[in-house]
């Protein structure tokens, strides 16, 4: 049952990304180009994501466990530290340069051509290398 629900949720998410234009790299880069030919339409997509997530957070606050088993993830650490700033900066740079981020990249695999595949390989390489980079950054940072 869990796999079926995961498949349905993933298909719904991918369809939403496609229909909203989040898989169109030109549209995403137009959204990010605030000093050029800015395309504000993705603001509605991002804004529209806030309402269902707000409802989901309220529902999960009252629930004891997820409907399909497992446990709810722990709340994120609200501290803004060096790792968060570096990671956010790298994510934003990659998103701006390629016009893709992980969700839309996976959703566009079926029609993204070679560029989508190259992005996916680069993204997976970054995910593979990230723990080592994190370890080096942690070693280099002064003791707190």
For residue range 64-82, what is the model confidence (pLDDT) as tens digits? Answer: 888 777 888 887 888 898 8
Taking 90 as the threshold, does the pLDDT of residue 33 lie above it? no
Average pLDDT, the chain: 84
Alpha-carbon distance values, 141 to 82, 88, 134, 136 (Å): 9, 18, 11, 9
Taking 60 as the threshold, does the pLDDT of residue 143 lie above it? no
Q: Where are the domains of the chain?
A: 2-140
pLDDT at 112: 62
pLDDT at 8: 92
Taking 80 as the threshold, does the pLDDT of residue 94 lie above it? yes
pLDDT at 37: 86
For residue range 96-125, what is the model confidence (pLDDT) as tens digits? Answer: 888 888 888 888 777 767 777 888 888 899
SS3 label, residue 10: helix
d(CA 144, CA 141): 8
Q: How confident is the model at residue 142 (pLDDT cuts 50, 70, 90)?
A: low
Q: Are 82 and 141 in contact (CB under 8 A)?
A: yes
Question: What is the arithmetic mean of pLDDT over 2-29?
Answer: 86
The count of other CB atoms within 10 Å of the CB of residue 10 is: 13
Question: 115-123: long-range contacts (C-beta < 8 A, 24 or more apart)?
Answer: 115/25
């Amino acid at each position: 049952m869990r796999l079926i629900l995961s498949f349905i949720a993933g298909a719904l998410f991918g369809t939403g990304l496609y229909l909203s234009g989040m898989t169109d790299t030109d549209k995403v880069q137009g959204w990010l180009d605030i000093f050029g030919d800015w395309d504000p339409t993705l603001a509605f997509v991002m804004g529209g994501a806030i309402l269902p997530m707000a409802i989901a957070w309220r529902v999960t606050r009252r629930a004891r466990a997820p409907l399909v088993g497992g446990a709810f993830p722990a709340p994120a650490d609200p501290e803004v530290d060096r790792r968060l700033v570096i990671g956010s900066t790298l994510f934003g740079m990659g998103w701006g340069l390629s016009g893709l981020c992980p969700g839309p990249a996976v959703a566009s695999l079926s029609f993204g051509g070679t560029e989508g595949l190259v992005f996916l390989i680069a993204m997976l390489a970054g995910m593979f290398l990230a723990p080592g980079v994190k370890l080096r950054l942690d070693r280099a940072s002064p003791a707190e």
